[in-house]
Amino acid sequence: MRLPIAALALPVAVQAANYSGPLRPQVHFSPPSDFMNDPNGLFYDAKRDLYHLYYQWNPYELIAGNQHWGHATSRDLYHWTNHPPAISPSNADEYIFSGSAVLDRNNTSGFFPDQDDGVVAIYTLDTAEAQTQNIAYSTDGGYTFTKYTHNPVIDINSTEFRDPQVTWHAESEQWLMTVAYSADKVIGFYTSPDLRDWTHASNFSRADLRGEQFECPNLVKFAADKHVLFISVNPGAPLGGSGTYYLVGNFNGTHFHPETANFTLYEFSKDNYASQWYTDLPDRSSPISIGWASNWDYAEEVPTGELEDWRSSMSVPRQHSLTQVQGVWTVTRSPYDLSAVQGRRLPNHNHTDGVSVDFSSVQSKAIYFEIDISGLPADPAGEVRFHFSSPAGDHLDGGVVLDTGLFWIDRAGTQLYTAANNTDFTPLSNTSVAVDGGLAFAGVIDRSVLEVFADDGTQSATVSYFPSAPLDRLAVGARGLSDGANVGLAAWGLDSGWVV
């Protein structure tokens, strides 16, 4: 989206950030300070066993603008090291918008005559006159970049042409760019032998898709020889503000062919946008993504800014697969391997009305939890609810109505920011889940972000919330269940990814 704040062409140093605030997520990435939005340029460097995360960052203000590529690295996707911005504006009237990064192992670009680990970043340069696709190259593993002297590499004389995702298409032995003609609601595909010279291959259009503009497309190769096209839209997404769809199909090197006419909404909640997918993962690895855990309806207003000098976090890293649900290929998601931060299992406390876990002793105030409902008859009745609470009376609730499969989450009980502050901060998220003799779901709660994964990972929700005191107790209760039904709860403390 066009951002009206004038860019400041000033050097930015890496900051000694404070990650100890009560709203600061501990296993979700957030910026050192100020405002962050889309993830960019996710790539894995196998030689150094290092994951790189770049992101849209305004290092000067708590609202969007002054777009730089912020930068952080991790060996496990949970413990992060912040670095100075990797790509910054050269002039005061420029923004470095979203894009991607790849390892050019075979030096197709010619930038790396003496190495096999050169990194090329592909990004949108935004000015008042145009949005163009540009490249920059790094000889030091992705920490510093040199802008290509013959930029832009694609210029179609448009102010609504952005967010290139580039991958290597092995079958045709060429680079593939997926990019948005945003206002036209069209996805373009371009090919290149060398990352410098690009040829338009085809367009894919779905003008009927709900939402005003297309952004941050990703074409992702899955097993079963399938490709999945992810398209983010803003504003006017089905749940309000920004949101993401996906469509399963096949890509033949020039054209994307969907298997169905129906797009699937990626989440049943409002706070996951512009997910990007890691490039250069080892062969046979499951696809891994990270998304922006916010929504443009209120991202610039949430109270972390005034209270703790930062706004927005990312989702937890997610691993993915494709599975068939009633004959339709569906993307699954679950938290990427939590073992790097997963601590001890927390003891359950049984009550007459259910079971609870007290995690006030967990320093991070972050936990991973699993809720299992079993022994249900063919025509189940009753409801199972979960309830997070704080000593100050804040609460975040959810549950499943077993006879209809209605699954819901309600953030209205967290008190620092509610629909009274912004009517677009809608409290309820809901979907329908399969109830067939039982069901299970899992989640991560982390100070101001809740992520829930249900229906064998085919459905998920990311919910931002802002309590006046940390939520530190989880209670699970049931009512009206049939004889023989059982509800189980397991929870583990999560260690902080930051030194606090």
The dihedral over CA atoms of 280, 286, 292, 297, expressed in degrees to the nearest 10, equals 130
For 229, which DSSP code?
E
d(CA 473, CA 346): 11
Which CATH number is associated with domain 341-494? 2.60.120.560
Q: How much is the average pLDDT of 162-177?
A: 97
d(CA 320, CA 248): 14
Residue 228 one-letter amino acid: V
Does the structure show a pLDDT above 90 at 5? no
Centroid of chain to Cα 483: 41
pLDDT > 70 in the chain, percent: 97
Task: Give the three-class secondary structure for 338.
Answer: helix
Does the structure show a pLDDT above 60 at 4? no
In this structure, are residues 266 and 244 in contact, taking their beta carbons and an 8 Å threshold?
Answer: yes
Question: How far is residue 319 from each of residues 61, 226, 288, 462, 492, measured CA to CA in Å?
Answer: 33, 16, 5, 15, 20
Residues 6+ apart with CB under 8 A from 299: 35, 37, 64, 311, 312
The H or E element spanning position 160 is: none
d(CA 314, CA 31): 9
d(CA 289, CA 315): 9
Residue 125 one-letter amino acid: L
Structure tokens at 230: 């992810």
Per-residue pLDDT reduced to its tens digit, 227-266? 999 999 999 999 999 999 999 999 999 999 999 888 999 9
pLDDT tier, 224 (very low <50, low <70, confident <90, very high otherwise): confident
Give the phi and the psi of residue 329 in degrees, each rounded to 5. -65, 130
pLDDT tier, 225 (very low <50, low <70, confident <90, very high otherwise): confident
Predicted confidence at residue 13, as pLDDT, reads: 57
- Mean of the per-residue pLDDT values for the chain? 95
Burial category of 194 from C-beta neighbours within 10 Å (exposed 0-12, middle 13-18, buried 19 and up): middle
* Count of Cβ atoms closer than 10 Å to residue 423 Cβ: 11
Task: Give the three-class secondary structure for 426.
Answer: coil
Per-residue pLDDT reduced to its tens digit, 329-366? 999 999 999 999 999 999 999 998 899 999 999 999 99
CA-wise closest residue to 67 among 131, 3, 145: 3
Structure tokens at 404: 């209809």
Give the phi and the psi of residue 81 in degrees, each rounded to 5. -115, 125
Per-residue pLDDT reduced to its tens digit, 20-73? 999 999 999 999 999 999 999 999 999 999 999 999 999 999 999 999 999 999
Q: How much is the average pLDDT of 76-81?
A: 98
Query: What are the structural domain ranges in the chain?
Result: 34-335, 341-494
Question: How far is residue 465 from each of residues 385, 419, 447, 453, 471, measured CA to CA in Å?
Answer: 18, 11, 8, 17, 10
Does the structure show a pLDDT above 70 at 130? yes
Helices (H) and strands (E) in the chain, counts: 1, 35
Predicted confidence at residue 500, as pLDDT, reads: 54
Per-residue pLDDT reduced to its tens digit, 313-333? 999 999 999 999 999 999 999
For 304, which DSSP code?
H
Per-residue pLDDT reduced to its tens digit, 193-218? 999 999 999 999 988 899 999 999 99
pLDDT tier, 7 (very low <50, low <70, confident <90, very high otherwise): very low
Structure tokens at 37: 């939005």
pLDDT tier, 11 (very low <50, low <70, confident <90, very high otherwise): low
Question: How far is residue 320 from each of residues 98, 336, 413, measured CA to CA in Å?
Answer: 23, 9, 32
124 half-sphere exposure, CB direction, 13 A CA radius: 34
In sequence order, the β-bridge partners of residue 493 are 367
* Residue located via tokens 């009517």: 423
Predicted confidence at residue 15, as pLDDT, reads: 59
d(CA 212, CA 112): 41
What does 247-290 look like in DSSP terms, one character per residue? Answer: EEEEE-SS-EEESSS--EES-SSS--EEEEE-BSPPTTPPPEEE
Predicted confidence at residue 3, as pLDDT, reads: 43
- Tell which wins on pLDDT, 68 or 500: 68
Which CATH number is associated with domain 34-335? 2.115.10.20
Q: So which residues are the catalytic ones? A: 38
Domains 34-335 and 341-494 fall in the same CATH topology: no
Residue 375 one-letter amino acid: G
Number of residues that make up the chain: 500
For 459, which DSSP code?
E
d(CA 240, CA 234): 9
